[in-house]
Structure 1
């Protein structure tokens, strides 16, 4: 079957991390900015490990300086997503990068991105929603500013609140205040955990941040009791297998625990994370899942219905997504 045409839901996508390399090079040229060390000799993003990846990610993101830059980025990312059959996506947006955590500036960036998303929906049918996200290694004080931005703009388009960045910085409880603010404003909670840290980090994220979805979460497989807890609490994992393999969390696709997690009753979804950094697309992810684990049409259909049900959008938007998947 043609996996590119299969209709998909993607819940774990960093907007800046989805920037095509050519887009960032062009933007840097327009602004006369140096981007030494960001790309290899073939023009792809270049990094040595996860922590070097974070530095390269932030260097590339530095080229994005205005709301218009983010509008153009949104258009480029959604065009690529639609080419790979994505009908609904949720993207992580860091107020730290979009106005430095200032609410007035954040509103301007958000308006620009939302306008671009609305145009993409009219042009190709793809629906986008935003999840303001804390950059963990920027610290708890910056997180409170990001939470204020999220709270001030919560609604039909800003639907959740999350955290990415370096898992080894601090503990989930350090960020509880920011997450309490967001949750009290009606935003649903997700957070990266269990990618570079082990099961205890996932457990603490569920307990201290009250997360209903976990970004990655794959290392839960190392703790059978935690797997049972995730199933019992109906926690959904935003799994990004290609990212995990590219960064060396797992040596290869055959070693990845997504099938074992699914067999244990865990609700898993599939996303690309930062696709050009990891040389992947949603089509590639589906092809590798089919090749490695024998996933078929019925498996992918159940996967996408589950992702639609786990989406942070309104019920009216969810009905639209399910209709698109059925079609």
Structure 2
């Protein structure tokens, strides 16, 4: 089979259900924001060569007529170098992966102006990659500051609302070349947290339900496996308000009989990853192949079970999980699926129509997206 260029896959219309905002920053933006804070203030040191490229002293001393171009070129090189470094660092271990988020990413996202920029840029990049709709997930509690657990409840609720308002406004204003796409937010409780915070996040999801596509349970599955009892009351309350439930699970562990029973009783329609064991055929799987390889779940893309699950008739959707540590895009995932498993445009249309079934959009938007997909794949 003749390989097609990435530009071919970028032109294909696509939907995405599973991508984390805090795993999808532009490396250039990270360096720009850290340069304002001070690279030396990062709890995890930046590579010296990256900082030197960004600061570009030799370019700063160049004649004024060429200085701007030299600085810009040096900073683009710095961004590429940092992107490669942080992805390589994160791939070494789960600890490194989490350290990169906690020590390099989240400190930038405690500032509301930064958060707004990061959300808008992610949507711009999605549009450039051929997305016609996307659901972005995040934990609003992660953007309150390093010591949010020490805040009194009223302050915490006020700050959570501020984070949500900022994110919603960024979603509403994001565009590329005047083009906007439907964007919904998925609110994540984290497995190491507790029922009180889950209820506060449920309140947030309900208050902003017009912009919310789902309520999720994410985080450390190996340490806190399965369906957690403290999450269930909040999830049930959100579900009663017409908001869909999704849950990260079975990326590292297989589901137990109790897990499967609880998923059914809660009405969880979607599972993030879901590549271990059997979860029955009726649930939508938000599969992120490259991410699963990066985190060590599978040795290579060719070893990933996505093709087997798809051919077995499972409700497979294709996602990135994030673009920063995986160094992937949805277009690149499509290219890898085509070159590794022989997927065709018909296969990509099918998984996108499956994603459309699972996506939280109104009937009018759903019909419009379906027409865009069919037209885009059957030219």
Alignment of 1:226-245 (within 5 A): 226-227=278-279, 230-231=280-281, 234-245=282-293
Deviation string for 1:147-194 (max 9, x for gaps)? Answer: 222222222x11210121101233423221221222122210001001
Report the equivalent of 1:30: 36
Count of aligned pairs: 317
1:167 aligns with 2:221: yes
Change in Cα spacing, 1:308 to 1:92, as seen in structure 2 (3 Å) is same
Q: What runs of 5+ residues in structure 2 fail to find an aligned partner?
A: 51-80
Q: What runs of 5+ residues in structure 1 fail to find an aligned partner?
A: 221-225
What is the rounded CA distance, in whole Å, between the counterparts of 1:181 and 1:98 in structure 2? 24
Cα contact 2:317–2:354 (8 A) shared by 1: yes
What is the rounded CA distance, in whole Å, between the counterparts of 2:125 and 2:143 in structure 1? 22
1:317 aligns with 2:365: yes
What is the rounded CA distance, in whole Å, between the counterparts of 1:141 and 1:238 in structure 2? 27
Cα contact 2:274–2:286 (8 A) shared by 1: yes
TM-score normalised to structure 1 length: 0.89
Of 235, 251, 259, 2:299 maps to 251
Could you tell me how far 1:204 is from its partner in structure 2? 5.9
Could you tell me how far 1:265 is from its partner in structure 2? 1.4
SS at match of 2:136: strand
* Aligned-pair Cα RMSD in Å: 2.2
What is the rounded CA distance, in whole Å, between the counterparts of 2:261 and 2:222 in structure 1? 13
Cα contact 1:150–1:161 (8 A) shared by 2: yes
Of 271, 293, 301, 2:349 maps to 301
Alignment of 1:99-248 (within 5 A): 99=144, 100=148, 102-121=156-175, 123-155=178-210, 157-170=211-224, 171-174=226-229, 175-200=231-256, 203=260, 206-207=263-264, 209-220=266-277, 226-227=278-279, 230-231=280-281, 234-248=282-296
Cα contact 1:173–1:209 (8 A) shared by 2: no
Farther-moved stretch of structure 1 (288-297 vs 14-23): 14-23
Alignment of 1:50-69 (within 5 A): 50-59=94-103, 60-69=105-114
Change in Cα spacing, 1:186 to 1:253, as seen in structure 2 (3 Å) is same
Which aligned runs of 4 or more in structure 1 are off by greater than 4 angstroms?
Answer: 38-41
Change in Cα spacing, 1:151 to 1:103, as seen in structure 2 (3 Å) is farther
Farther-moved stretch of structure 1 (268-277 vs 311-320): 311-320
Of 284, 295, 315, 2:332 maps to 284
SS at match of 1:132: strand
Cα contact 2:112–2:163 (8 A) shared by 1: yes
1:10 aligns with 2:55: no
Deviation string for 1:24-59 (max 9, x for gaps)? Answer: 222222233633537666313222222431232122
Could you tell me how far 1:208 is from its partner in structure 2? 6.1
Change in Cα spacing, 1:49 to 1:127, as seen in structure 2 (3 Å) is same
Change in Cα spacing, 1:93 to 1:179, as seen in structure 2 (3 Å) is same
SS at match of 2:15: strand
What is the rounded CA distance, in whole Å, between the counterparts of 1:52 and 1:197 in structure 2? 20
What is the rounded CA distance, in whole Å, between the counterparts of 1:205 and 1:23 in structure 2? 41
Change in Cα spacing, 1:104 to 1:173, as seen in structure 2 (3 Å) is same
What is the rounded CA distance, in whole Å, between the counterparts of 1:145 and 1:189 in structure 2? 16
What is the rounded CA distance, in whole Å, between the counterparts of 1:207 and 1:169 in structure 2? 23
SS at match of 1:64: helix
TM-score normalised to structure 2 length: 0.77
